[in-house]
Structure 1
């Protein structure tokens, strides 16, 4: 039983909203446009996304320990490799299994969506691995933020929308950018929290490259931009989708206030949870607005 709990901790369940939200909002947009929804797409896309996210988390857990980024001085949440709960090999095998399951779930999606979905699926698995592994690990070169915007925002939303409709559209692009911005708040807070430790192991995140002040303003921009961008939905006639997500604005302001008033420490783990909640609540409220249009 304890082993199961340890694996669940390694999966980092709080980060899995980054998989759920793009699929829900993309499907809600399909509904708002009065186009047919494919239930199989929703289920398979959720499973594939969860497995890719978990696999990415496991690779990150193992590799950060091996490269010295996670030590006993870590102020972030407990990591299973660093704490000795599992070996590097066990965690990497777990990651490989997750990526394999993602491929299995992705095969029916490729049959529905064709070459474009095949390319997206292959890139998603490869980039999940390359986030901390390979000759140019994205997280170690300051590319993690861009990775999240692309794969947990634009590609996720546009890909699911395409699977439902077989169309690439500007509305799905705009929606993907909104969701990607909020998903990136999580990694930006994570990198700000770990900036001093990352600097010592040459992990050049944006917080390390550009400094903590830049990281704080990046978080503020990423938190607020989706609310400003919501005006687009008003011009498209989606009044409910424009207004209902404003209920999440106080949470965004709280995240920003906390980041600017507090120096990086273990309390940032709480702020990370708040940012995950912001991503989830904004996405669900926006989806609700689309569903009732």
Structure 2
């Protein structure tokens, strides 16, 4: 692990030693995909009634832990299957570049799942035990994304799965545990968030397209090709913003939600960042911009709901 090429890659990615090794393992740029839906779902509930702060905190921590564990499973199983090496971009690199034992990463992921399960027990006890069933299914899919004999990440369904579970399902659960009800508007309003979450995976697969194809994956980026996948990314962004405007016009979202359009700048930057690029390292900034688009959009959407609560318009 101390070879010159390995050190050169670590330098190119500005990877440092010490605690940053474990921080990278979490893939922090993806953790906003766990924060955003919990925040949005809770703010939707806040408009209807007062919220339980401890439920919100428990749900947020459980969601982040599950996302981090999913990232670790990804790191572990991609290494076991030979997909990751010391030159792979976009991974934590704790195994292939930092020399952390694969079993350590696996056990850490399982530990995060167990802590999330304990938090889930509290959430169910305070709200409803039906949440336990949904939580177990969500955790199972988090594992099966890269684990198991037929990993979802190797198929064209990775983006849809991630968007559905990390977008719609988490928003729905976050709303339900506060109100003990669910309605169609909450599900519909979750669609743009689900699109942005799925787009993070699409951007990741665009960057890794060549290597993934060589290793037998059949992701959307591989099926569409580079240019087609970048066009798809731009189309998904456009759809998310158009839906947001439709929801505002139909009063499903407040007029305050127009502030989400400020995230459009990052979305455009992400698409342009992939255009005409071929090397994974040079596409890394576009990947980061995609994640930031989700973060900014989701945060502003939640803030717009909070503004409607305290400064209602219409």
Q: What TM-score range do you get, normalising by the shorter chain?
A: over 0.9
Matches within 5 A, 1:1-293: 2-32=17-47, 34-230=48-244, 231-236=246-251, 238-293=253-308
Q: Tell me by how many angstroms 1:3 deviates.
A: 4.4
Q: Is the 8 A contact 1:192 1:264 kept in 2?
A: no
Give the 3-state SS of the residue equivalent to 2:256 in structure 1.
helix
Deviation string for 1:244-271 (max 9, x for gaps)?
Answer: 1112222212212222243343122111
CA distance in structure 2 between the aligned counterparts of 1:238 and 1:138, rounded to whole angstroms = 33
Query: Aligned in 2, Cα 1:89/1:3: closer, same or farther, shift over 3 Å?
Result: farther
2:37 and 2:166 in contact (8 A); partners too: yes
**TM score, norm. by length of structure 2:** 0.88
**Contact 1:189 1:272 survives alignment (8 Å):** yes
Distance 1:227 1:220 in 2: 11
CA distance in 2, matches of 1:10, 1:239: 38
Once the two structures are TM-superposed, the CA of residue 228 in structure 1 deviates from its matched residue by 0.7
Of the structure 1 ranges 134-143 and 205-214, higher mean CA displacement relative to structure 2 is found in 205-214
1:241/1:287 contact within 8 Å kept: no
Please report the RMSD computed on the Cα atoms of aligned residues, expressed in angstroms: 1.8
> Cα 1:177–1:92, aligned 2, differ >3 Å: closer, same or farther?
same
User: What TM-score do you get using the length of structure 1 for normalisation?
Assistant: 0.94
Q: CA deviation at 1:183?
A: 1.1
How far apart are residue 114 of structure 1 and its match?
2.4
Task: Show structure 2 runs of 5+ residues with no match.
Answer: 1-15, 309-314
Displacement of 1:46 after TM fit?
0.8
Mean Cα deviation higher: 187-196 or 34-43 = 34-43
Is the Cα contact below 8 Å between 1:184 and 1:222 reproduced in 2?
no
The 10-residue stretch of structure 1 (240-249 or 4-13) with the greater mean CA deviation from structure 2: 240-249
Whole-Å separation in 2 of the counterparts to 1:167 and 1:54: 28
Distance across 1 between alignment mates of 2:181 and 2:150: 33
The answer as to whether partners of 1:41 and 1:109 remain within 8 angstroms in 2 is yes
